[in-house]
Amino acid sequence: VRPASENRDRVHEQATEPLPCCKRQFPLRTETSSAPGGQKLSQVWQGVLLLKNSSFPTSLHLLEGDMAVASSLLVEGPTGGQVNQLKISQRLRLDQPKLDEVSRRIKAAGSSGYAILLAMPGKADDGGIQDPNNSTERPLKNLVSYLKQKEAAGIISLPVGGGRDKDHGGVLHAFPPCEFSQQFLDASAKAFAKSEDDYMLMVIIRGAS
């Protein structure tokens, strides 16, 4: 696995001009966000995370791994179209054996088979997102608090809605701040998160189930 700093440098070269937020389009272009120290992360997705009857505006920024993994899996399965909602359907207990299994899958996937993303509060719904679930919009810190309380990570199967080819699927793990997630965050990444209650670490692994 490449060092996080090396991958960020590689990603920064791919970054282009930002999108109008109202279009919420992904992943044809990326935009960058700056930390107080001047470091940059590339934003690769913006939308809402869904859990039960709540929605949490969120933006995802690449820390390390392959951006193509995120761009190819954060889509609507049957059509391959863009998605602006990701529904957490399961939980994974933060037990050491299960965390070890996630680490093993990351290593087995290789540098082109996974993506590590920093999830931060996104912009509130301005009408650009159609919500068929009529969910209640809440801040991301509420989801972080919920997962911390449950001592669990959220699980999202990708692509959204299932794919026609099971071999090209994947899974997203949404980790609240914990010992496991800290290993992927250096000081510059933490500078983007204003508090421990306002960010999560997303691990996308291609082919995992």
Average confidence score pLDDT of the chain: 81
Quote the pLDDT of residue 40.
76
How do residues 29-64 score in pLDDT, each as one tens digit? Answer: 345 555 444 457 899 999 999 999 999 999 999 999
- What distance, in Å, lies between the first and last C-alpha atoms of the chain? 21
More confident residue, 85 or 39: 85
Name 190's Cβ contacts closer than 8 Å, sequence gap at least 6. Answer: none
In 3D, which of 205, 150, 142, 206 has the Cα closest to residue 178? 150
Q: Cβ atoms within 10 A of the Cβ of 76, count?
A: 16
Quote the pLDDT of residue 194.
67
Number of structural domains (the chain) is: 1
Which pair of tokens denotes residue 35? 């930390």
More confident residue, 185 or 93: 93
Judge whether residue 198 has pLDDT over 50.
yes
Least confident interval from 66-75, 100-109, 122-131: 122-131
Quote the pLDDT of residue 197.
80
Quote the pLDDT of residue 186.
82
Which pair of tokens denotes residue 109? 């996937």
**Distance from C-alpha of 149 to C-alpha of 146, rounded to nearest angstrom:** 5
The rounded Cα 195 to chain-centroid distance in angstroms is 18
Q: Which domain holds residue 130?
A: 4-206
CATH number for the domain spanning 23: value is 2.40.290.10
More confident residue, 94 or 6: 94
- Pairing, β 40-51 against β 31-34: antiparallel
Query: Structure pTM?
Result: 0.79
What residue has token string 């508090």? 195
Quote the pLDDT of residue 131.
57
